[in-house]
């Protein structure tokens, strides 16, 4: 699922990054080809909003479709007495929803700011309801079922934002904090699947259809629930679409996790992977996941509020055509799931053929090995309908069928036997009512379907497979034991740069890094990697031990697009004895291993001073800092350092990459992060904050909006004097 502005943000940034990788940045883009690409993309993912000019026509779309109404009335997707409310809500614009992310102390501080600075100004404000004369309050609603009370929804559409300055301020806050990773804008119902997946820090998690990655972001946040430790689990985020995988790279980059891998496969035929077998040192075992999210491609008709163009093209054919791939992805998910593991299947479609029919087919094929779980207790306060137990598949000509036998021959390849509901006498076997159906009028959201599965035992066809113990060097042969060795596949159209791990502490550049930052002896240098075999190492990335294991053992069988968080960046500065500076992205992951020599415990006012300096070639002179900070910095050798700040009263802790110059001290943060920290410190950040309300009222809507987003999200660290910047994309394709 995607959200209105953020989708465009992710897309634009990703396109920029893509072009950079292709070495074509700033050259003329073929607009015709670009539009064609976008149209193709839109056809593949109808639930997404197209970019560009098409958006402004949305207000003009007639939000009616007789076939849609007839189909869902026949299916009885909602009780008759709710039908008119259901239809009325479907025609209204979607409210805004967001959640606060980041470390616990930062999230608490940000939550206070949201309530005191932004919500207080709009609390008594009333806005005209779309297309009606009534006015309604914009009441921010805290979503009762979201863990930690971190998610909010408010009746505020895109058009509303331009109507008043406080609303625009809130919008700007959301955009800026999204870029800094402090906030994630995401449609309310789209937040549900990761919540019911119940991810713990030790879980191996697979997100099968992950792009653009709003749910992946949640999975990573849940994985990092214990901030004091690096999770022993990881998230593998996969998507079949290569260009959409870079949206995932962008998401992962925002969250700075060393525990994520991005892969590019058709998840219906996701390869079997192996992992180190801790019980059997030196051996591998099949990689089975503890948690799997199966947020499959769907017709997207439950996103009509956000994507009104679906009114124009809705047909029963869409759901019928998707049933097959949805089932195959789910079935492969169940195969990759560990016994006792949990899988969530979700769609943003109302259609039982894409929902309960897929669930029923899976349950039928897997017998007692897989069962549905009642996830309602994990969602206190959420209104929903139970899963349907009866529905009538239909052909494109809107003829409905009770049994497959009734389907005329010409439709038999489209309306398949597996799409039909269970017989009444078999209903008790499946518990389809444990599925969750959220309709738009339940709590003023989009619609959604969620089914939670638990794998009780191995699948019937898995029982027949005899697991073979594998030893080092025989990895990845599980699926092709009888076949001769295969040629190394060139997977997809792109070849990623390699993932080259450090061989150990003796790796050429490591001793100087270890000495300079006083890395403690248990820091595992073999978890560091670069993306080149030869030449000077430029950026050094860090992954967790389990991610290293997965990459090293499976690199030849899966196409890994990206992994690792940028931790050290080459900086051949003559004033620094080590050729690598720290990177803000990887700081949290490496912080606990850095010794006291390169740490500066800075006072609040001094931190504000470094953050308010927006001219990297003229950093604040040491003389402007407090005596306390001057004393701390006096004996600190020039170069990269950690700036630490702690407010004991509010328990706010901030850690930034800094640079001690010969006569100066500065922060080394990207603009969105700078604004984020100044905001948390209650300091003035106006020099980074253009009054876009005034600006926007002078320019057309689409321009103003995309301008805000692209600018903020694309912001990069200022150039260092030696020319190194933080902005280079990690992953390159050729």
Ligand X SMILES: C[S@@+](CC[C@H](N)C(=O)[O-])C[C@H]1O[C@@H](n2cnc3c(N)ncnc32)[C@H](O)[C@@H]1O
Residues of the binding site for S-adenosyl-L-methionine: 209-215, 239, 266, 295
Q: Site residues for ligand X, window 271-310 (CB under 6 A)? A: 295, 297
Q: Does 13 bind ligand X (CB under 6 A)?
A: no
Q: Does 647 bind ligand X (CB under 6 A)?
A: no
Q: Of the two residues 346 and 629, which places its CB atom closer to ligand X in the complex? A: 346
Least distance (Å) from ligand X to the CB of residue 307?
12
Q: Of the two residues 217 and 602, which places its CB atom closer to ligand X in the complex? A: 217
The C-alpha atoms of residue 137 and residue 575 are separated, in whole angstroms, by 58
Buried-exposed string 507-528: b where 16+ CB fall within 10 A, e elsewhere: bebbeebbebbebeeebebbbb
99's tokens: 């959640």
Q: Of the two residues 214 and 366, which places its CB atom closer to ligand X in the complex? A: 214
Least distance (Å) from ligand X to the CB of residue 241?
4
Least distance (Å) from ligand X to the CB of residue 41?
9
β pairing state of 599-601 and 639-647: parallel
- Which candidate in 245, 259, 298, 348 is catalytic? 348
What value, to the nearest 5°, has the Cα angle with vertex 356 and ends 354 and 357?
65
Q: Of the two residues 260 and 657, which places its CB atom closer to ligand X in the complex? A: 260
Kindly indicate which of the ranges 16-24, 202-210, 367-375, 399-407 contains the residues binding ligand X, using the contact rule CB under 6 A: 202-210
CA 36 from centroid of its chain's CA atoms: 26
**Is 78 known to be catalytic?**
no
> What is residue 524's DSSP assignment?
-
Q: Decide if 674 contacts 681 (C-beta within 8 A).
A: no
Least distance (Å) from ligand X to the CB of residue 424?
32
Q: Does 8 bind ligand X (CB under 6 A)?
A: no
CA 276 from centroid of its chain's CA atoms: 27
Q: Of the two residues 190 and 629, which places its CB atom closer to ligand X in the complex? A: 190
Tokens 């539009």, residue located: 35
Q: Of the two residues 203 and 559, which places its CB atom closer to ligand X in the complex? A: 559
Q: Does 38 bind ligand X (CB under 6 A)?
A: no
Q: Of the two residues 611 and 713, which places its CB atom closer to ligand X in the complex? A: 713
Kindly indicate which of the ranges 30-38, 212-220, 333-341, 361-369 contains the residues binding ligand X, using the contact rule CB under 6 A: 212-220
Exactly one of 156, 268, 419, 708 binds ligand X (CB under 6 A); that residue is: 268
**Total site size for ligand X, rule CB under 6 A:** 24
The C-alpha atoms of residue 78 and residue 57 are separated, in whole angstroms, by 30
Exactly one of 8, 89, 172, 214 binds ligand X (CB under 6 A); that residue is: 214
Tokens 């806050």, residue located: 173
Exactly one of 9, 153, 267, 544 binds ligand X (CB under 6 A); that residue is: 267
Kindly indicate which of the ranges 136-144, 153-161, 232-240, 493-501 contains the residues binding ligand X, using the contact rule CB under 6 A: 232-240
Tokens 């299947």, residue located: 345
630's tokens: 């001057």
Please state, as a whole number, how many other Cβ atoms lie within 10 Å of the Cβ of residue 572: 12
Least distance (Å) from ligand X to the CB of residue 264?
9
**368 phi, psi to nearest 5 deg:** -90, 0
CA 12 from centroid of its chain's CA atoms: 16
Least distance (Å) from ligand X to the CB of residue 252?
13
Helix boundaries (H) for 681-726: 692-696, 701-713
Peptide linkage before 212 cis (omega within 30 of 0): yes
Least distance (Å) from ligand X to the CB of residue 449?
12
The C-alpha atoms of residue 577 and residue 637 are separated, in whole angstroms, by 9
Q: Site residues for ligand X, window 315-354 (CB under 6 A)? A: 325, 329
Binding residues: 209-215, 239, 266, 295
Ramachandran sector of residue 402 (left: φ over 0; alpha: ψ -120 to 50; beta: rest): alpha
Exactly one of 94, 240, 260, 478 binds ligand X (CB under 6 A); that residue is: 240
The C-alpha atoms of residue 349 and residue 326 are separated, in whole angstroms, by 12
Q: Site residues for ligand X, window 613-632 (CB under 6 A)? A: none
Q: Of the two residues 296 and 415, which places its CB atom closer to ligand X in the complex? A: 296
Write the DSSP string, 5-43.
HHHHHHHHHHHHHHHHHTT-TTSPP-HHHHHHHHHHHHH
**611 phi, psi to nearest 5 deg:** -75, -30
Exactly one of 38, 69, 241, 335 binds ligand X (CB under 6 A); that residue is: 241
Exactly one of 69, 82, 266, 555 binds ligand X (CB under 6 A); that residue is: 266
Residue nearest ligand X, CB atom distance? 209
Kindly indicate which of the ranges 140-148, 236-244, 469-477, 617-625 contains the residues binding ligand X, using the contact rule CB under 6 A: 236-244
Contacts for 56 with CB less than 8 Å, ≥ 6 apart: 700, 701, 702
The C-alpha atoms of residue 701 and residue 679 are separated, in whole angstroms, by 27
Least distance (Å) from ligand X to the CB of residue 174?
18
Q: Site residues for ligand X, window 41-70 (CB under 6 A)? A: 45
What residues are labeled active site? 348
List residues binding ligand X (CB under 6 A).
1-2, 45, 190, 208-215, 238-241, 244, 266-268, 295, 297, 325, 329
């Amino acid at each position: 699922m995607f959200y209105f502005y953020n989708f465009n943000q992710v897309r634009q940034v990703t396109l920029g990054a893509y072009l950079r990788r292709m070495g074509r940045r700033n050259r003329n883009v073929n607009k015709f080809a670009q539009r064609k690409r976008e149209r193709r993309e839109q056809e593949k993912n109808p639930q997404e909003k197209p970019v560009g000019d098409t958006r402004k026509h949305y207000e003009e779309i007639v939000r009616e479709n007789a076939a849609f109404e007839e189909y869902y009335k026949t299916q009885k997707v909602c009780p008759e007495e709710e039908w008119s409310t259901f239809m009325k809500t479907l025609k209204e614009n979607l409210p805004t929803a967001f959640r606060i992310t980041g470390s616990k102390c930062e999230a608490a501080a940000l939550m206070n700011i949201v309530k005191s600075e932004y919500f207080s100004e709009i609390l008594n404000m009333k806005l005209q309801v779309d297309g009606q004369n009534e006015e309604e309050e914009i009441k921010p609603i805290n979503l009762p079922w979201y863990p930690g009370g971190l998610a909010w929804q408010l009746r505020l559409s895109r058009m509303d934002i331009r109507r008043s300055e406080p609303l625009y301020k809130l919008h700007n806050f959301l955009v800026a904090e999204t870029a800094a990773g402090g906030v994630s804008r995401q449609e309310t119902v789209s937040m549900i699947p990761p919540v019911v997946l119940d991810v713990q820090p030790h879980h191996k998690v697979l997100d099968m259809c992950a792009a653009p990655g709003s749910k992946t972001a949640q999975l990573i946040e849940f994985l990092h629930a214990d901030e004091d430790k690096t999770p022993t689990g990881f998230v593998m985020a996969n998507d079949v679409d290569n260009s959409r995988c870079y949206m995932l790279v962008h998401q992962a980059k925002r969250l700075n996790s060393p525990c994520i891998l991005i892969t590019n496969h058709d998840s219906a035929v996701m390869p079997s992977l192996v992992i180190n077998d801790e019980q059997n040192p030196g051996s591998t075992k099949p990689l089975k996941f503890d948690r799997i999210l199966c947020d499959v491609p769907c017709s997207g008709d439950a996103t009509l509020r956000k994507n009104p163009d679906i009114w124009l093209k809705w047909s029963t054919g869409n759901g019928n055509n998707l049933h097959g791939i949805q089932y195959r992805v789910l079935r492969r998910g169940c195969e990759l799931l560990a016994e006792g593991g949990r899988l969530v299947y979700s769609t943003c479609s109302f259609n039982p053929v894409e929902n309960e029919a897929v669930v029923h087919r899976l349950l039928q094929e897997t017998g007692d090995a897989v069962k549905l779980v009642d996830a309602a207790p994990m969602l206190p306060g959420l209104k929903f309908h139970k899963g349907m137990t009866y529905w009538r598949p239909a052909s494109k000509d809107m003829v409905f069928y009770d049994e497959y036998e009734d389907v005329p021959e010409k439709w038999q390849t489209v309306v398949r036997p597996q799409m039909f509901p269970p017989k009444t006498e078999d209903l008790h076997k499946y518990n389809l009512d444990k599925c969750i159906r959220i309709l738009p009028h339940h709590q003023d959201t989009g619609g959604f379907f969620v089914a939670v599965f638990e794998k009780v035992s191995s699948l019937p066809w898995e029982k027949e497979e005899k697991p073979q113990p594998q030893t080092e060097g025989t990895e990845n042969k599980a699926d092709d034991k009888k076949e001769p060795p295969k040629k190394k596949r060139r997977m997809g159209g792109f070849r990623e740069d390699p993932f080259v791990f450090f061989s150990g502490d003796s790796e050429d550049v490591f001793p100087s890094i270890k000495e300079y930052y006083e890395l403690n002896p248990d820091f595992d240098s073999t978890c560091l990697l670069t993306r080149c075999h030869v030449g000077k190492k430029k950026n050094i990335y860090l992954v967790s031990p389990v991610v290293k294991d997965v990459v090293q053992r499976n690199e030849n069988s899966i196409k890994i697009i990206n992994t690792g968080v940028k931790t050290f960046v080459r900086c051949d500065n003559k004033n620094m004895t080590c050729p690598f500076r720290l990177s803000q992205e990887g700081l949290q992951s490496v912080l606990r291993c850095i010794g006291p020599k390169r740490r500066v415990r800075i006072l609040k006012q001094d931190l504000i001073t470094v953050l308010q300096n927006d001219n990297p070639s003229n950093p604040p002179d040491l003389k402007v800092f407090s005596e306390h900070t001057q004393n701390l910095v006096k004996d600190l050798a020039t170069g990269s350092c950690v700036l630490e700040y702690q407010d004991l009263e509010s328990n706010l802790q901030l850690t930034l990459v800094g640079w001690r110059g010969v006569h100066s001290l500065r922060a080394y943060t990207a603009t969105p992060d700078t604004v984020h920290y100044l905001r948390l410190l209650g300091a003035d950040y106006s020099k980074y904050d253009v009054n876009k309300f005034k600006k926007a009222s002078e320019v057309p809507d689409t321009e103003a909006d995309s301008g805000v987003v692209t600018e903020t999200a694309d912001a990069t660290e200022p150039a260092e004097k030696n020319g190194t910047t933080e902005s280079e994309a990690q992953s390159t394709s050729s």
